[in-house]
Chains A and B, each alone.
Chain A
Amino acid sequence: MSTATDAPKSAPSRGGKAPAGERVADWADGRVGVYSLAKANMRKIFPDHWSFLLGEICLYAFIIIILTGVYLTLFFVPSMAELEYSGSYVPMQGVLMSEAYASTLDISFDVRGGLLMREIHHWAALIFVVAIFFHMMRVFFTGAFRKPREINWLFGFLLLVLAMFTGLTGYSLPDDLLSGTGVRFMEGAVLAVPVVGTWLQMFLFGGEFPGYDIIPRFFVVHVLLLPGLMVGLIVAHLILIVYHKHTHYAGPGRTNSNVVGMPLFPVYMAKAGGFFFLVFGLIAMIAATTSINPIWVLGPYRPDQVSTNAQPDWYMGFSEGLVRLMPAWEIVLFNSYTLNLGLLIPLMVLPVVLGAIALYPFFENWVTKDKREHHISERPRNAPTRTAFGVAWLSWYFIALVAGGNDVWAINFDLSINAITWFGRVGFFVVPVVVFIITRRICIGLQRRDRDKVLHGRETGIIKRLPHGEFVEVHEPLSQAKLHALTAHDQYQPAELPASTDANGVQRKVGLLEKARVRISRGYFGEGGQVAKPTAEEYREITSGDGHH
């Protein structure tokens, strides 16, 4: 390995020249070492499961957004200079508007295919964040964030946050009445920052709201800064996936020390490559048939105009909901300094909501103190407390998300907007608790069912009459593979407090934090926290005893 290479003259051995492809590869190998790279990766194994493809949807949506976004920049003018519209959309002719809005109208009505590109861009953006959400929930509920993947979990989380803000800045660019209202919201939010709020507002907008700077500034953030960061993070995310190799579900032959699936070349090249085209094609069809953000009927932004049903795109909906749920609190300190709590509190709750799910893996690891690597995706039922936390978090998030659309629900379902808001205010605190309790019970119930299945076999639905007249249902014993899959998961024992005195009889001090950890650990893994999986002895006892099967 360390000796100098003497390979070069070994190339054409079969007489005549090697095929063109091979010669190109030889050339590249001499410079960047492609053969070693290919040796390591060409037959890389990927496990086959639909839920492992959710991340790919994110990646492909991102690529689609970049492709269409580059096209849009060819025509979009990020300027707030005013002009009188004279393009081909009649109901806007003669209206005074910014160049940004006018150029968006041009893309929609005067550039052939421009409308399609806008719609693909926007639909792909919405679906991108939905897919991130699904992907993140898959990772969460299967415990795939455990060692060694904690860093990649955080990378993914950062990508979610960046995607939200990239979306937000993009949504603001056309300078229509809806997006302008969103920008006004941002102004209010910045103004609410204590002490430096007005300064920040002046710096962000280059003067008083709305000024002429915000759209050019958002443009560069939207097309360069944030996507640039995202590309870097995505590359890091993918490198780590390749390095760690994918997790897989427990099953015969699938262990914690291998990964079972099909090779990258050719199977996953075709599957993953094909999937890119499927995603792109399906999103193009959605764009062909379904309108999104028809800015031409929204009108240009003016600070004295507004429309009802003013919402941000869905991924910002939960922050909108938090603000809508907030009651009117405002404090004036020392008669001269105002704290706009109606905005400040929701804006502080927002990172708490997101942070709760982002930091959970570290919390769980603190409870279990588990130092092992985990490469087998757990079934959600086998981690009842984690699953309950995740579902409770989702309910928390969705309460806020639903509250963000309270006016639309009110008009469509004949409800009172005030009643919906009050439901959200109470639900924000109550629903997650209820959901947590219910989910945990369901998981434990499912664990019990798995245990019964292992010990007593599968219920076949066949009723047999015994000679003495009794009816019994025939239980079919599970195959070895099934038995293994259902019992392969780890079960932690609850942590215990160290004895109060050590071996020499000296009082031992146990910190409050450690006491709390032991309590939580008992909640997780103690009595009522999980159902012990069947042991080999139990199995033998039952199967050798009566002729149940």
Chain B
Amino acid sequence: MKKLSARRRHPLAALVVLLFALAATGGLYTALAPAGEAKAEASDSSLAIEEGKKLYAVGCSSCHGMGGQGGSDGPSLVGVGAAAVDFQVSTGRMPMQAKGPQAPKKPKAYTPEETAQLAAYIASLGPGPAIPESSAYNPADGDSAKGGELFRTNCAQCHNFTGQGGALTHGKYAPNLHDVEPRHIYQAMLTGPQAMPSFPDSTLTPEQKRDIIAWLDAVNTSESPNPGGFSLGGFGPVSEGLYAWTFGIGVLIAAAVWIAAHTAKARKS
């Protein structure tokens, strides 16, 4: 105890306390947040819709219109479904910060509970795809080989072979799918956010969507193997060529310089 009080006045003490406090807050938050979500699910749905409507009026209506009918700055949200809201809001794409070719992924602005309320409100405007059950997108249940074929037919043209992303016209792009949550991949296929076309269950069945998620899980997560070594971003010949032009020839020229350099002479210069 004495030791502690002696060090209380240490210049770094405040920092340590601050760090503890931050860690505690974070821990408390992570402990409580899922509980809040569960509560939202349990609570009366009409209450959620009411809450969602309020949130919507404040955060979304300036672009999408008071009743979700759309406006000059944002599309109509009638019939987009809860899945679209969950995708856009929980990946931070909505609300948009500034006008641009495309709304980028960013830290989310709403808590899971608020997101659920917003989703409930939008879902009440018209029938649309609901938030999928977690069993629908569990990569362990999918067939990665079939998923790979489907990915190359439907997705790779924009997202690249392993979902590293690719450019579209005029600054738009298909984002990198590295470590994207399976739920969001599923919702994106279902709803077709922004420039992306949708892949409704009538053309790409739920099992096939899960196969695609299994493929991405096999090739584009932090845990996916790259047997050959460092993957250079997975962009193929461009990054490989760049590497050969810089590091590859660089080390060989360094070796050449060493071979041809004059050995140190005995004199003092």
The answer to whether A and B touch directly, with their CB atoms under 8 angstroms apart, is yes
Contact A95 B239 (CB under 8 A): no
Q: Chain B contacts of A289 at CB under 8 A? A: 229-230
| Closest A residue by C-beta to B176 | A411
Q: Knowing A115-B227, A314-B240 touch, does A411 contact B165 (C-beta < 8 A)?
A: yes
Residue in A53, A290, A407 whose beta carbon sits within 8 Å of that of B259 in the complex: A53
Q: Knowing A293-B240, A415-B171 touch, does A93 contact B145 (C-beta < 8 A)?
A: yes
Of A291, A304, A306, A312, most B-chain CB atoms within 10 Å: A291
Contact A48 B260 (CB under 8 A): yes
Contact A299 B148 (CB under 8 A): yes
Whole-angstrom distance between the alpha carbons of A92 and B148 in the complex? 8
Q: Chain A contacts of B239 at CB under 8 A? A: 408
Residue in B215, B230, B237, B252 whose beta carbon sits within 8 Å of that of A282 in the complex: B252
Q: Is B231 in the interface zone, CB < 8 Å from A?
A: yes
Contact B260 A53 (CB under 8 A): yes
Contact B228 A115 (CB under 8 A): yes
Contact B248 A127 (CB under 8 A): yes
Contact B152 A299 (CB under 8 A): yes
Q: Is B109 in the interface zone, CB < 8 Å from A?
A: no
Q: Which segment, of A148-156, A273-281, A474-482, A506-514, faces chain B?
A: A273-281
Contact A416 B170 (CB under 8 A): yes
Q: Is B124 in the interface zone, CB < 8 Å from A?
A: no
Q: How far is the CB of A128 from chain B (nearest CB, A)?
A: 9
Contact A418 B170 (CB under 8 A): yes
| Closest B residue by C-beta to A125 | B244
Q: Which B197-237 residues sit within 8 Å CB-CB of chain A? A: 215, 218-219, 226-237
Q: Chain B contacts of A410 at CB under 8 A? A: 167, 171, 173
Residue in B146, B156, B238, B261 whose beta carbon sits within 8 Å of that of A50 in the complex: B261
Residue in A134, A178, A287 whose beta carbon sits within 8 Å of that of B249 in the complex: A134
| A interface majority secondary structure | helix
Q: Is A108 in the interface zone, CB < 8 Å from B?
A: yes
Q: How far is the CB of A26 from chain B (nearest CB, A)?
A: 34
| Closest A residue by C-beta to B259 | A271
Whole-angstrom distance between the alpha carbons of A126 and B247 in the complex? 12
Contact A305 B227 (CB under 8 A): no
Whole-angstrom distance between the alpha carbons of A271 and B251 in the complex? 17
Q: Chain A contacts of B237 at CB under 8 A? A: 178, 293, 311-314, 317
Q: Chain A contacts of B156 at CB under 8 A? A: 177, 299, 305-308
Q: Is A383 in the interface zone, CB < 8 Å from B?
A: no
| Closest B residue by C-beta to A404 | B238
Whole-angstrom distance between the alpha carbons of A314 and B144 in the complex? 31
Whole-angstrom distance between the alpha carbons of A412 and B234 in the complex? 12
Interface residues on A, range: 35 or more
Q: Chain B contacts of A293 at CB under 8 A? A: 236-237, 240
Q: Chain B contacts of A224 at CB under 8 A? A: none
Q: Is A131 in the interface zone, CB < 8 Å from B?
A: yes
Residue in A91, A305, A407, A416 whose beta carbon sits within 8 Å of that of B145 in the complex: A91
Q: Is B125 in the interface zone, CB < 8 Å from A?
A: no
| Closest A residue by C-beta to B165 | A411
Q: How far is the CB of A292 from chain B (nearest CB, A)?
A: 5
Q: Is B191 in the interface zone, CB < 8 Å from A?
A: no
Q: Which A285-303 residues sit within 8 Å CB-CB of chain B? A: 286-294, 296-299, 302
Q: Is B90 in the interface zone, CB < 8 Å from A?
A: no
Q: Which A33-54 residues sit within 8 Å CB-CB of chain B? A: 48-54
Contact B238 A408 (CB under 8 A): yes
Contact B166 A411 (CB under 8 A): yes
Q: Chain B contacts of A53 at CB under 8 A? A: 256, 259-260
Q: Chain B contacts of A282 at CB under 8 A? A: 251-252, 255
Whole-angstrom distance between the alpha carbons of A66 and B218 in the complex? 34
Whole-angstrom distance between the alpha carbons of A275 and B255 in the complex? 8
Contact B160 A309 (CB under 8 A): yes
Whole-angstrom distance between the alpha carbons of A299 and B149 in the complex? 8
Contact A286 B259 (CB under 8 A): no
Q: How far is the CB of B148 from chain A (nearest CB, A)?
A: 5
Q: Is B20 in the interface zone, CB < 8 Å from A?
A: no
Of A49, A52, A177, A305, most B-chain CB atoms within 10 Å: A305
Contact B257 A50 (CB under 8 A): yes
Q: Which B163-179 residues sit within 8 Å CB-CB of chain A? A: 164-171, 173-174
Q: Is B158 in the interface zone, CB < 8 Å from A?
A: yes
Q: Is B153 in the interface zone, CB < 8 Å from A?
A: yes
Contact A294 B226 (CB under 8 A): yes
Q: Is B157 in the interface zone, CB < 8 Å from A?
A: yes
Q: Chain A contacts of B242 at CB under 8 A? A: 314
Write the A419-433 contact mask toward B (1 if CB under 8 angstroms, else 0). 100000000000000
Residue in A56, A290, A307 whose beta carbon sits within 8 Å of that of B229 in the complex: A290
Given contact pairs A50-B259, A57-B249, A306-B157, a sample of 10 additional A-B residue pairs in the complex whose CB atoms are under 8 Å apart: A53-B256, A53-B260, A93-B145, A119-B229, A134-B253, A292-B240, A294-B228, A305-B153, A313-B237, A317-B238
Q: Which 8 A-B pairs have the closest CB atoms?
A: A314-B241, A308-B166, A291-B228, A410-B167, A53-B256, A126-B244, A416-B171, A307-B156
Q: Which residues of A contact B (CB under 8 A)?
A: 48-54, 56-57, 90-95, 108-109, 115, 119, 123, 126-127, 130-131, 134, 177-178, 271, 274-275, 278-279, 282-283, 286-294, 296-299, 302, 304-315, 317, 404-408, 410-412, 414-419
Q: List 20 A-B contacts (CB under 8 A).
A: A90-B218, A91-B218, A92-B145, A94-B146, A108-B227, A126-B241, A126-B244, A271-B259, A275-B256, A291-B227, A298-B161, A307-B161, A308-B159, A309-B236, A312-B237, A314-B238, A407-B166, A411-B173, A412-B235, A416-B170
